[in-house]
Each structure stands twice: as structure tokens, then as C-alpha cells.
Structure 1
Amino acid sequence: MPNIREVRTSAQAEQEDLFFGQTVLLWARWSVIVAGIVLVLWTAKSISYLTATMPFFLVLMAVNFFLHGRYVMGSPLNRAMVVAASAIDVVLITAIVIFWPGHHGLDNQFFVLYFPVVFAFALVFTRRVEAVYTVVTMVAYTAACIVVGTLPLDGGNEDKVLVMRLVLIAAMGFLGNYYFRIQRRRLAEATQAEQPPVAHAAHA
């Protein structure tokens, strides 16, 4: 007797993508935490520098410990909570861009921390949700650079640097979601191919 599998509905596909995709988001957040702490320890020259910079990553670590613990215990977050947690990532990274001692706004190289969180988010959610998240991230980074006064908005080199960085953030979202859609389409085709020809069998 052939092994019969039902084709996933759109709702089922989104639920499964969200459940398994949380692992991607969790490990992307851990990568941000580890990279940030390593950079802090590598560049720290005084205790005051550590006390001023380490709290950013400690907060992110506390959030991810809670989220990872729930996932391991079999109580993963729902869709709204996952989006909220990803929004917290953007808020904390933007705070790093604004408040990092000695390097603010466009001069702060920690903007690269946006890349893994945007890419991971794009691997989990549909194009529309991913696009909103990516645009919000780009707006947050632009606003941070303007607030601290490192972006003169005069069409000079600083503006060009910002545009290039925004293009990179957008590319992370696009590529992640493009791969996400390819994988979903392949799974849909595979499940459809495994469906037995019920109609033909009934007529026979």
C-alpha cells in the first residue's frame, strides 16, 4: 500500500515554517551575541569601557536565554511574539549604533549586526512580512545616523556610505526570503508528487 501524504495547506506551511524557523532566529541571535562580546573584549582598554558596552549584549543574551529555553521545553513562541522578539533585536542593535562609546551612527561598525538578524528573519516569514521588517530596519539605522549627527544629508561621501549599507541590509532580506520561497516551493512540489492518483484509481 503506498505511503499517502497530504499536501500542506498555506496555514500549515506557515505554522511549520514558524516552528522550525525559530531555531534559525535563535542561533542568529546567539551569533550576534558572541560576535559582539568578542569584539567588546578585544577592543576594551578599560573597565569603564566594558561597563558601558557589555550591558547591550547582556540584555540580548537574557532575552535569547528565555526564548531558547521555551523552545527547548516545547513551548515555542507564537507568530506575534517571534516578530516582537525580532523587533527587540533591531531596537538593541540600533541602540548600540547610537550609544556606543566613541563611535556613533555612521562611524559605528556594529551596523553589521543587522545582517544576521534580517537574513534569519527572511528565512522564516513570507515576503510581505519580511519586506516590512527589512524596511523598518533600514529606517531605524538611517534615523540613528541622523539623530547622532553623522549623516549631513548633503549628497556627500557619508550619504553614499549609508546608501551602500542600506543596500546590503536589503540584500540580506531579499536573498534570505528568496531561498525561503525556493524551499517552500520544492516541498510543495515534492508532497504533490507523492500524492496517489486517487481520482484515476476510483474510476478504474
Structure 2
Amino acid sequence: MPAAREVRTAAQANQEDVFYGQTVIMWARWSVIVTGIVLVLWTSTNVSLLTQTMPFFLVLMAVNFFLHGRYVMGSPLNRVVVIVASVIDLVLITAIVVLWPGSHGLHNQFYVLYFPVVFAFALVFTRRIEAAYTVLAILLYLGACLFTGTVPFDLGSDDKVLVMRVIVIAAMGFLGNYYFRIQRDRLVQASRGDRSTLSEIRGGLAH
């Protein structure tokens, strides 16, 4: 019996990755929303502070409700719209870093929200798109720190902290996309009838 062959084109594979993978991005966004709201409620000392900080996450929630609703109804958005929504995530997180009352730029601990969105994005898109998105996240964070004047550029501890955070953001993108490429290669090999790969997949499912 002849071995099965890969019948999908690269474009079809990319479309399927986005179709099945955008749920990862949506759940990453939900994790950002829930974490942010919990931190807002935990740290707010008065109603004024609450009203200043909550809108950031309400906007994210509105975006994700729309995207998740479309996905659940069986009409998920295309790749361009998913990318635009992910860029909006970065813009809103950067706005939090810049505008958060009493804690701006490098001193704002909400920089950690970059991590899940960059990692989730890297699990869905190809290397070139992921690299551009990761670089954009890094540039936005660097811009936020520069705009707020919280980085002295004196080769002191603050500069080292900034460099370490940028490295972690880059690592999130690299590791997520590395895993994405490993899984795609395994699926391609399996679809071509690679017996060793099929055995590995079946063995993993059995466990």
C-alpha cells in the first residue's frame, strides 16, 4: 500500500494553524484580563484609583468577548484580524505600563503581561510573523520606559533590569515558536506516512 502524502499547501497549513490556534491566543488574553482585574481590585485603595485603572482591562475584555463569540459560533476571524487584535493587546499593555497611576515605565510590574500574549502568539504563527510581533513587543516596552524617563542609561541596576526583561520577552517568542515548528514538522512527517513519527504520536496519545 503506498504511503500517504502531504496534500496541504503551505498556505492551507497556515490557515489551519490560525483556525485551531487562535483559541490559544484568546485564552492567553483571558488570563491577562483575569490577572489584571484581580491585581486592580487587590491594589486599589480608593474608588478613584479603581476607575482610572479598570478601563484598560474592560477594553481587553470587550475585544476578547467579540473574538471568542465569533469562534464559539463557528465563524472565527481570519489571520489579519487575529494579528491586529494581538497588536491591540500589545498597545493596551504598553498603555498600562505608561499610564498606570503611581507606577510608570520600568517601575510598573504589569510588564509581565507581555509574556503570555507573546508566547501564545508564537504558538500560532510562522517564524517570520512571530519574530516581527516579538520585536514589536520589545520596542513598545523600550519606548514606554524611554517615554516615562525611568531608565537612566548609566549602566546601573535599572539598565540591567531592562535588559533582562527584554531578553525574557524575546525568549517567550522564540520558545513558543520553536515548539510550534516542532509540532508542525511532526504532523507533516505523520501525514507523509513516517512510521516512526506515527508511532510516537500514537504512543503519546496512549499515555
Deviation readout 1:111-156 (Å, 9 max, x if unpaired) = 0000000000000000110000000100000000010110112222
**Residues 5 and 193 in structure 2, CA contact (< 8 A), matched pair in contact too:** no
Q: What is the root-mean-square deviation in Å for CA atoms of aligned residues?
A: 1.6
TM-superposed CA distance for 1:4, in Å, is 5.9
Give distance in 2, aligned partners of 1:193 and 1:80. 33
Give distance in 1, aligned partners of 2:138 and 2:103. 19
Residue matched to 2:109 = 109
Residue matched to 1:202 = none
**Residues 8 and 188 in structure 1, CA contact (< 8 A), matched pair in contact too:** no
- Counting only pairs closer than 5 Å after superposition, residues 62-141 of structure 1 correspond to structure 2 as 62-141=62-141
Give distance in 2, aligned partners of 1:160 and 1:98. 20
Can you give the 5+ residue segments of structure 2 that lack an aligned partner in the other structure? 196-207
Runs of at least 4 residues of structure 1 off by over 2 A? 1-8
- Give the total of aligned pairs: 195
TM-superposed CA distance for 1:11, in Å, is 1.2
- Counting only pairs closer than 5 Å after superposition, residues 170-189 of structure 1 correspond to structure 2 as 170-189=170-189
TM-score norm. by structure 2 comes to 0.90
Residue matched to 2:44 = 44
What SS is found at the alignment partner of 2:63?
A: helix
Deviation readout 1:28-79 (Å, 9 max, x if unpaired) = 0000000000011111111011001000000000010011111111111111
Can you give the 5+ residue segments of structure 1 that lack an aligned partner in the other structure? 196-204
Identical aligned pairs, as a percentage? 72
Give distance in 2, aligned partners of 1:108 and 1:98. 8
C-alpha distance 104-8 of structure 1, shift in aligned 2 (>3 A) = same
Deviation readout 1:178-199 (Å, 9 max, x if unpaired) = 000000000001000179xxxx
Give distance in 1, aligned partners of 2:74 and 2:124. 18
**Residues 98 and 148 in structure 2, CA contact (< 8 A), matched pair in contact too:** yes
Q: Between Structure 1 and Structure 2, whose CA radius of gyration is higher? A: 1
**Residues 89 and 117 in structure 1, CA contact (< 8 A), matched pair in contact too:** yes
Residue matched to 2:148 = 148
TM-score norm. by structure 1 comes to 0.92
Instruction: Give the counterpart letter for 2:69 in structure 1.
Output: G
TM-superposed CA distance for 1:80, in Å, is 0.8
Query: Which stretch shows the higher mean deviation, 1-10 or 136-145?
Result: 1-10
Instruction: Give the counterpart letter for 1:65 in structure 2.
Output: F
